[in-house]
Chain A
Amino acid sequence: MFGFLLRRVGLVIPTFLGITLLVFLLIHLIPGNAVEAMSGERGMDPARYAQMAHDLGLDQPIYMQYFNYLGNLFKGDLGMSIMTHTSVMSEFKTLFPATLELSFCAILFALIIGLPAGILAALRRNTVLDYSVMGASLTGYSMPVFWWALLLILLFSVTLGWTPVSGRIDILFDVPPVTGFMLIDSLLSDDSGAFKSALSHLILPTIALGTIPLAVIARMTRSAMLEVLREDYVRTARAKGLSPWRVVGIHAFRNALIPVVTVVGLQVGTLLAGAILTETIFSWPGIGKWLVAAIQRRDYPVVQGGILLSAITIILVNLAVDLLYGVINPRIRHRS
């Protein structure tokens, strides 16, 4: 297991360096001038320009700039936002929990519904149930997130009035941020209504963001189950007279889970991409919305930092998935 761990972590390092290089070059590849892009000032007089270039380290050879960039990165310094003049890292820290909370709920929602739906569809292959699950998942997968989100708001918030339209909590509750996770902070806030409000605000964004992963998981689970159900050991288990629950729940499911875990890991990228739209529509103060605003305002340090941090998140999640994979399927970790 240790060797496996080392191999996987070893792979992460070059990936990480590759991403930092790409993100670093971003500022030099955009049209215009790196000093102006980094400082946000246009049409500076030459003396100020030289000073600015020096302050930002942009007067050094490019490889030195890259090493400086890496050095700052390890100190957790990603520069300052041009717009707000606060450090990119501190902005990320306040906004990331919101995205994490939403993404976690979305993936949980996708698993809770997607796994059983996929299993049921596989067991009742070629029945109305199977066709409905497959049809619904295809629809869910094809639905543009922003449109789906607006549709949910229109139906559940405006027409039926069941859920709030947007935000993380009813604006009248002034919940002090402690952990950054609204569900936890609202519980800590001694206001009994706050948690309920936070929960109700999570419902629609969770559904909107979780729908595509849900569809993917349902379809993947179904095909993995079908694959496994054809295997000899399942037939053997059945022949031995084990209960259908044991056959499906223990023998088949555990093996079917392996490809599903991979898919869930890959969905993290989709989640972060979907979060950009979902957060904008639901006014969810997370990194998706932050990045969109930064791009619109050409706040390059934020764009750079946001992309890098999102990429690191995806790498780390994929690493975790790989390791989990090794736990579920011992064969993987012994293969060199």
Chain B
Amino acid sequence: MMKRKLIAKAALLAVMCATAGYATAAKTLVFCSEGSPEGFNPQLYTTGTTFDASSVPMYNRLVEFELGTTKPIPGLAESWTVSDDGMTYTFKLRKGVKFHSSAKFKPTRDFNADDVLFSFNRMGDVNHPFHKLAAGQSFGYYSDMGMDKIIDKVEKVDDSTVVFKLKHPEAPFIADLGMDFASILSAEYADNMKKAGTPDVIDREPVGTGPFQFVSYQKDAVIRYKAFDAYWGGRPKLDNLIYAITPDASVRYAKLKANECQVMAFPKPADIELMKSDPAITMMTKPGLNIGYISFNVEKKPFDNKLVRQALNMAVDKATILKTVYQGAGIPAKNPIPPTLWGYNDKVVDYTYDPVKAKALLAKAGYPNGVEVEMWYLPVTRPYNPDGKRMAELIQADWAKIGVKTKLTTYEWTEYLKRSKQGDQHSMMFGWSGDNGDPDNFFAPLLGCEGVKGGGNTARWCNKDYEALIQKAKLTPKQDERAKLYEQAQVILHEEAPWIDLAHSVRFTPIRKEVLNFKMAVFAHHHFEKVDLAGK
């Protein structure tokens, strides 16, 4: 009896020592995430919460985005070439990339072309054995991005070369391949699970090539990952990454303060000032991938006159709007794309606030005694504009100073959208959030001639020179050449002033001081592969 007790005690002691040693030696970062993921295969879902828990830590794509920018960089593809007609993309795959192993799967080979074929054909080929899904599941993003209309076929040349044949040229294609849905899964894993009679396991028990590998998930509570030692991009500095699922923003903040987590997702705007003044917390900020603007309907008087549009641009005191409407959560805009997007023309000089000059310009345009205009303001809060009505009132007051009398109008949101598509508006407040990191995603639908017909171009402005530039950019495969074309397009936009570019709203991520090398992504994802913890 004595002996047994002794052994038990010794065992307990050993366990305690082991766990204590583990706790101090291992670097563990806890991230307070905002919700449970829908699942762990990013091909199947569309929410940022799910991508944060799947594609970001555990998977890679052929193309990745340089962290903090929207610049596509090599991922699982080391390099790529595009044919002159822009229809054939040839990818050279990275060698020596390992897949994670799990309880049910031990990879016997490195990543190769078969994995790329499996991942894409599964989504695109209706006859693929892994294409059929349970009720309610679909490859949502793949079809939303129109991939079935873009990709003709995916072919394997050899183990490290894959060719994508397109149905038509599509310059943003490389950026599209960097999106979460394009994550690469293991074909070998899929085969093994199919043989075992449990094909659906590949969607539930994730195996990828990413920096972290899956350990366990307790629904609505915690997701555990550990560093993947054989990660091709270098083993992460953290040993363990834990997501503490905490849906309430105030509680996330409390946990961050109490050091129960070191990074938190999506703070409440009301808490931001308080967090900034907290010595334990560093507030990271980054302009969102969006634009809030006012468009002038150039089909209507007086907005058909370029000088009027320029005068109205000069008459708006952006600094005050940013202070009172965005309350610091925005940066002034001078181009329709945010500065984090490639192709942004920083040389464009914004119209400075100058009511005297604006009034003179208005007189020159033929309105010496001022003019009456109408402006529609947003009836709802949008990510790019926290308070449309307040903003409208400020602009109304600004314009009054140069003799412009503004009638403010709004409609219920769906009505607002419907009427703006018909072109009923005079000047109107609007905005846009980009979703693939390609400038075309802003320039074409919002300001292109097609957009006038489609209704997305609320300025109904169709400029031949601008249109030629953006159309050429769409067909140009090389990114630096495309960037130059977009820079020129921005010069025309500035001169022609179909819009007032107001602001890019800012995103916030509070982290604790001991977190090192944390960088905010442009998309609302949280990346930890390069993150380290100080003092451990």
Q: Roughly how many angstroms separate A40 CA and B260 CA in the complex, as a whole number?
A: 36
Residue from the list B12, B137, B138, B246 in contact with A283, Cβ < 8 A: B246
Q: Is the CB of B219 within 8 A of A165?
A: no
Q: Is the CB of B221 within 8 A of A40?
A: no
- Stretch of B59-67, B121-129, B247-255 with 4 or more beta carbons under 8 angstroms from chain A: B247-255
For A35, the closest partner residue in chain B by CB is B135
Q: Roughly how many angstroms separate A164 CA and B138 CA in the complex, as a whole number?
A: 40
Q: Is the CB of B136 within 8 A of A40?
A: yes
B446 at the interface (CB under 8 A from A): no
Interface residues in chain A, defined as those with a beta carbon under 8 Å from any beta carbon in chain B:
39-41, 52, 55-56, 80, 82-85, 91, 94-95, 150, 153-154, 157-158, 161, 164-168, 171-172, 174, 177, 190-193, 280-283, 285, 289-290, 293
B198 at the interface (CB under 8 A from A): no
A85 touching B248 in the complex, CB below 8 Å, given contacts A165-B255, A290-B220 = no
Q: Is the CB of B220 within 8 A of A85?
A: no
Q: Roughly how many angstroms separate A164 CA and B12 CA in the complex, as a whole number?
A: 25
Q: Roughly how many angstroms separate A56 CA and B39 CA in the complex, as a whole number?
A: 23
For A277, the closest partner residue in chain B by CB is B248
Q: Roughly how many angstroms separate A282 CA and B28 CA in the complex, as a whole number?
A: 22
Q: Is the CB of B251 within 8 A of A172?
A: no
Q: List A contacts of B298 (CB < 8 A).
A: none
Cβ contacts B1-28/A at 8 Å (1 or 0 each): 0000000000110011001000100001
A/B interface sample: 26 pairs, CB < 8 A:
A39-B136, A55-B135, A56-B135, A85-B39, A85-B136, A94-B219, A95-B220, A157-B258, A164-B258, A165-B251, A165-B254, A167-B221, A168-B221, A172-B23, A190-B11, A190-B12, A191-B19, A192-B16, A281-B248, A283-B221, A285-B220, A285-B221, A289-B247, A290-B219, A293-B36, A293-B220
Q: Roughly how many angstroms separate A282 CA and B245 CA in the complex, as a whole number?
A: 10
Q: List B contacts of A84 (CB < 8 A).
A: 38-39, 219
Q: Which residues of chain B from 227 to 282 have any CB-CB distance to chain A below 8 Å in the complex?
A: 242, 244-248, 250-251, 254-255, 257-258, 260
For B257, the closest partner residue in chain A by CB is A158
By size class, the interface of chain B is: 35 or more
Q: List B contacts of A94 (CB < 8 A).
A: 219
For B242, the closest partner residue in chain A by CB is A171
B519 at the interface (CB under 8 A from A): no
Residue from the list B138, B219, B222, B257 in contact with A91, Cβ < 8 A: B219
B30 at the interface (CB under 8 A from A): yes
Q: List B contacts of A177 (CB < 8 A).
A: 218
Q: Is the CB of B135 within 8 A of A166?
A: no
Q: List B contacts of A83 (CB < 8 A).
A: 38
Q: List B contacts of A158 (CB < 8 A).
A: 254, 257-258
Residue from the list B15, B244, B247 in contact with A167, Cβ < 8 A: B244
Residue from the list A41, A174, A191, A283 in contact with B244, Cβ < 8 A: A283
